[in-house]
Structure formats: C-alpha cells, structure tokens
C-alpha cells in the first residue's frame, strides 16, 4: 500500500483525491454521452471520460470530452466556470482522464446536439506525450498503436456498428427459433481440405484451430433442427488483401429439412435485417465515417439471384474475361457486384470448384446446389453456403474423389447413417459485412485487434 502510493507520487500523474470523486457522485448524476436527452437540458450532471481535444479562444475555452459512448464539447467560460477549473485548462493534456461537471445545454452548433457548460472539473490522470496526434497518421503507425487508436472517432464508430451487427445477428436467429450452437475452436480435422490450418500441439497430438464450424453445425442441425454457430475462425492462408484476416468471425446457420431455395431466402432476410438495424441505430456513427447511406437504404429484398451460367453471360456483356468452369476471381466478382445496386446471390457453381459436401444439382449434376452472396460496392463475397449432400454413399464417393481422409470424418459420415435428411446452411463473414456497411478500405479496421499475415501485435 505504502509502496504503491509512493510509486504513484513518483509518477506524479494522479491529481485529485478519491474523496472528491465520491463527493461528486453524491451530488450530481453521472450520465453517459449517448444517454443525453432533452429531459436533461438545464440539469447539472457529470461526465466521466478523457480529454479528446481542446481549443481556446482566450476567455472561452472548449474541451472535447469522450467517455466511450460518444463525444461532447464542454465549454468553459470565465465567470461561469470555477476559477480553479478555468485556470487548469492549460495543464489539461490530450487523453488526460477528467470528470467534468456542469449544466446540459442544447446547441445547434454542437455535432451531437448537446453541450456541457462546465462548472468544475476533476483531473483524474494527467497524460503526457500521448503519441496519436490530431493530424493524419499512416496505417503502419496507427496499427502499431491500435490499443490507443481505438479511442479515436473512426474506430469508435466502426466498433459501435460492429456491436449493432452482432446484436442484430443474434436477434435475427433467436427470434426465428434457432439454437445457439457453439462449435469447438480446437478441432482434430480440417473442414475444407484445401485451405491451410493453424497447427496446435495438443499434449503431443496434432490439433488445428477451426476454420469453420460448419461440420459441427450439421450435427447440431440434425440434433436440434435449426442452429447457428457464431464464433472466431482461423485460416493460415498466406493471403494479403483488404478482404482477409487470419482470425475472423463467422456466423453459420444450419437447418435440417432446408433446401437451397430456403437458405437463399433466409440469407436475404438476414442481410436486410443487419443493414436496417445499423441504419436504425447508428446514423451518428455512419456520419462520423462519412458513409453515404443511400446505397444501404436500397438493401431491401428481393436481391437478384442468378445462376453461375447467367453470371457468365453478364461477364460477356460487360466484356470481362473469365475461364469457363473456373471459380470467379476478384475482377469477375467486382464486375458482377457493380452490375447490381444490391447484394447479388450467385447459385449453381461448377462442382469441381466447390467443396466436397455440397449436393450436386439433380438436374445438372456438374453443378452444385450452392450460393454465394456478393456485397455491393466491390466488397466481395460475404456469404457462402449450400445444400449439403445427405446421402452416405454419394458423400463417401465425393470424399474419395477429392482424396479426403475418411477416418477423421467418420463422425461426419455417421450423420448420413442415422436419420439423414436434406439440410442446408451458410456462413456469413462478420468483418467483410462490417467493412461493406462502414465502407472501410480494409477488414483490419473492423475488428479490435486484427490478426494479419505479417502483423499480429498488439
């Protein structure tokens, strides 16, 4: 205790006593910035936060205070503000922790609509040499300082929207009778054999970080009818683009007795619900990001749904080159998504470019009952899904064709031996969806601490 106190004194950064903070707590309500409303106008409150910016015009001094829920301008005026607090303006450095106390005022000039007329303030912690400045910074510097960058306006807005998106996803599935089904993150086998997995030493055994919860979700669907897996996934692909992270979040619904048509419909409902939730709750955040909301307002069902072969005809029309029978690359995806002003769903890809568990189209067995949803504005694939092969023999045959080891997947094949039914599901990439909605230039800004090919600190 004594030592601790001495240390704090040495640092000389904690300014005011805990007693004063307690006294204020007994005298005035503590209000979060995003809770300010007209009923509080004229009332005295306190805001506990940090100094984000300050400006002075001599006898009138402005503090931009952030408290984690928003930003507000606190105004200090000679004669109104206590002389001690008014004097203290000069020692308030950026990112110092402060508690400001005063009267809520409505003001047309304020970005949030409200201002605080400061009566008094407590300097809780005086920050020195805060590294992030007010001018532009390069992405390298900002990512190195991600732990501090999160405090600033754009990360604040994106994280708030991420929260809304996650909440909307849970509301969507919970209100439709889906059971939340947590798939394991440590898994003994791969899901899609081709992609690379992170290897883990599991007491001498080989294990992997999950790259998809889908196979487990299928077990869940046959147990509980409708489930969704929502969690982090890991891919050790050496990809280095604005659409890739090594660790990202995916929501994967899986539904027994559902066909491709059912999930094509469900995916549209989900994406519409997510976007409309953000438009309902985050107009302030979209404004901070200078995101044009018009394209988002258009995200209403029905979305265009086209088959792979029709997509090829659109590419012909646009003069975009492609290799028939191949999966689409970035140029093709971008061209098709720009052709429409809503998310577009492409179904029935050639069998050989898709995963082994996808069910071939009974009418054209060279194509599979699958769907991809491409986000507008060039954000690429946000959903991939399919109707699954439910026949034991056909699934086994496909696995043998693709040289997939049978033993680790015996449990998965088992699902086709006991009460197998048609079932379908899809995966929605959370970060790509957020990147599109926030019109971010890279998925790395849509997750608090991104994990990328050559960058994984802090």
Partner RNA sequence: UCCGGCGUAGCUCAGAGGUAGAGCAGGUGCCUGUUAAGCACCGGGUCGCAGGUUCGAAUCCUGCCGCCGGAGCCA
179-238 binders of RNA (CB under 7 A): 192, 194-195, 212, 235, 237-238
**What residues from 4 to 43 belong to the interface with RNA (CB under 7 A)?**
none
Letters for 338-357 (x = contact with RNA by CB under 7 A, - = none) are: ---------------x----
Q: Does 87 bind RNA (CB under 7 A)?
A: no
What distance in Å separates the CA atoms of residue 348 and residue 361, rounded to the nearest whole number?
A: 8
Q: Is 419 left (phi over 0), alpha (psi -120 to 50) or beta?
A: left
Q: 125 burial class (0-12, 13-18, 19+ CB within 10 angstroms)? A: middle
Q: Does 116 bind RNA (CB under 7 A)?
A: no
Closest approach of RNA to the CB of residue 252, in Å? 9
> What is the maximal distance between C-alpha atoms in the chain?
85
Strands 305-307 and 344-347: parallel
Window of 19-27, 30-38, 329-337, 414-422 that interacts with RNA by CB under 7 A: 329-337
Window of 28-36, 51-59, 292-300, 409-417 that interacts with RNA by CB under 7 A: 51-59
Q: Which of 84, 136, 321, 407 binds RNA (CB under 7 A)?
A: 136
Q: Which of 62, 198, 224, 322 binds RNA (CB under 7 A)?
A: 62
Q: What angle do CA 443, 446, 450 make, to 5 degrees?
A: 75
The helix (H) or strand (E) run that includes residue 230 is strand 226-234
How many residues sit in the footprint of RNA (CB under 7 A)? 74
Q: Does 83 bind RNA (CB under 7 A)?
A: no
Window of 129-137, 164-172, 338-346, 403-411 that interacts with RNA by CB under 7 A: 129-137
Closest approach of RNA to the CB of residue 386, in Å? 10
Q: Does 377 bind RNA (CB under 7 A)?
A: no
**What residues from 239 to 258 belong to the interface with RNA (CB under 7 A)?**
239-246, 248, 250
Window of 257-265, 273-281, 390-398, 426-434 that interacts with RNA by CB under 7 A: 426-434
Window of 25-33, 156-164, 323-331, 396-404 that interacts with RNA by CB under 7 A: 323-331
| Buried b or exposed e, range 264-285, using 16+ CB within 10 angstroms | bbbbbebbbbbbebbbebbeeb
Closest approach of RNA to the CB of residue 133, in Å? 4
Q: Does 141 bind RNA (CB under 7 A)?
A: yes
Q: Does 382 bind RNA (CB under 7 A)?
A: yes
What distance in Å separates the CA atoms of residue 336 and residue 54, rounded to the nearest whole number?
A: 47
Residue 451: count of CB within 10 angstroms of its CB: 15
The number of C-alpha atoms within 13 Å of 321 and in the hemisphere containing its C-beta is: 0
Closest approach of RNA to the CB of residue 294, in Å? 23
Closest approach of RNA to the CB of residue 78, in Å? 5
Q: Which of 9, 90, 397, 410 binds RNA (CB under 7 A)?
A: 90
Q: What angle do CA 450, 456, 457 make, to 5 degrees?
A: 100
What distance in Å separates the CA atoms of residue 235 and residue 250, rounded to the nearest whole number?
A: 12
Q: Which of 12, 83, 138, 458 binds RNA (CB under 7 A)?
A: 138
Q: Does 135 bind RNA (CB under 7 A)?
A: yes
Q: Does 417 bind RNA (CB under 7 A)?
A: no
Residue 330: count of CB within 10 angstroms of its CB: 11
Q: Does 140 bind RNA (CB under 7 A)?
A: yes
Q: Does 453 bind RNA (CB under 7 A)?
A: yes
Closest approach of RNA to the CB of residue 2, in Å? 31
Backbone angles phi, psi at 54, to 5 degrees: -145, 150
Q: Which is nearer to RNA, 20 or 166 (CB)?
A: 166
Q: Which of 137, 284, 307, 439 binds RNA (CB under 7 A)?
A: 137
Q: Does 427 bind RNA (CB under 7 A)?
A: yes
Window of 278-286, 295-303, 397-405, 427-435 that interacts with RNA by CB under 7 A: 427-435
Q: Does 395 bind RNA (CB under 7 A)?
A: no
What distance in Å separates the CA atoms of residue 221 and residue 174, rounded to the nearest whole number?
A: 15
Q: Could you write out the DSSP letters of every residue in 377-420?
A: TTTEEEEEEEEBP--HHHHHHHHHHTT--SGGGHHHHHTTTSS-
Beta bridge partners, 227, equal: 179, 254
Q: 133 burial class (0-12, 13-18, 19+ CB within 10 angstroms)? A: exposed
Q: Does 431 bind RNA (CB under 7 A)?
A: yes
Q: Does 79 bind RNA (CB under 7 A)?
A: yes
DSSP, res 108 = T
Q: Does 325 bind RNA (CB under 7 A)?
A: no
Q: Could you write out the DSSP letters of every residue in 43-65?
A: -EEEEEEEEEEEEE-SSEEEEEE
CA distances from 11 to 222, 255, 386 (A): 60, 58, 59
């Amino acid at each position: 205790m004594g030592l601790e106190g001495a240390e704090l004194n040495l640092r000389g950064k904690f300014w005011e006593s805990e007693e004063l903070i307690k006294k204020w707590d007994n005298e005035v309500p503590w209000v979060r910035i995003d809770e300010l409303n007209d009923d509080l106008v004229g009332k005295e409150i306190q805001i506990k936060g940090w100094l984000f910016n300050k400006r002075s015009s001599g006898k009138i001094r402005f503090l931009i205070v952030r408290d984690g829920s928003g930003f507000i301008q606190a105004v200090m005026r000679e004669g109104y503000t206590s002389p001690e607090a008014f004097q203290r303006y000069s020692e308030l450095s950026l990112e110092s922790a402060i508690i400001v106390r005063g009267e809520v005022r409505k003001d047309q000039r304020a970005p949030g609509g409200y201002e605080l007329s400061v009566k008094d303030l407590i300097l809780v912690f005086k920050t020195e040499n805060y590294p992030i400045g007010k001018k532009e910074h390069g992405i390298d510097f900002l990512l190195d300082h991600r732990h501090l960058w999160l405090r600033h306006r754009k990360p604040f807005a994106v994280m708030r929207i991420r929260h809304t998106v996650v909440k909307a996803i849970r509301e969507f599935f919970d209100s439709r009778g889906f059971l939340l089904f947590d798939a394991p993150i440590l898994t003994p086998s791969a899901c899609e054999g081709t992609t690379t997995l992170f290897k883990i030493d599991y007491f001498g055994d080989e294990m992997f970080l999950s790259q998809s919860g889908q196979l487990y979700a299928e077990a869940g669907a046959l147990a509980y009818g409708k489930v969704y897996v929502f969690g982090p996934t890991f891919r050790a692909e050496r990809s280095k683009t604005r659409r890739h992270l090594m660790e990202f979040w995916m929501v994967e619904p899986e539904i027994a007795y559902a066909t491709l048509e059912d999930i094509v419909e469900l995916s549209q409902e989900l994406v519409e619900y997510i976007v409309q939730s953000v438009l309902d709750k985050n107009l302030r955040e979209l404004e901070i990001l200078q995101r044009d909301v018009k394209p988002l307002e258009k995200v209403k069902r029905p979305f265009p749904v086209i088959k792979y072969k029709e997509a090829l005809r659109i590419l012909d029309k646009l003069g975009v080159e492609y290799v028939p029978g191949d999966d689409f690359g970035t140029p093709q995806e971008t061209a098709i998504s720009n052709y429409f002003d809503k998310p577009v769903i492409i179904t029935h890809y050639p069998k050989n470019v898709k995963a082994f568990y996808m069910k071939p189209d009974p009418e054209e067995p060279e194509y599979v009952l699958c769907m991809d949803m491409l986000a507008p504005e060039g954000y690429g694939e946000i959903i991939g899904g399919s109707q699954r092969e439910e026949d034991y023999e056909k699934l086994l045959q496909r696995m043998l064709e693709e040289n997939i080891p049978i033993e680790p997947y015996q449990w998965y094949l088992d699902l086709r031996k006991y009460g197998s039914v048609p079932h379908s599901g899809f995966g929605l990439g959370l970060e790509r969806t957020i990147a599109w909605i926030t019109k971010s230039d890279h998925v790395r800004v849509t997750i608090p601490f991104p994990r990328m090919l050559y960058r994984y600190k802090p």
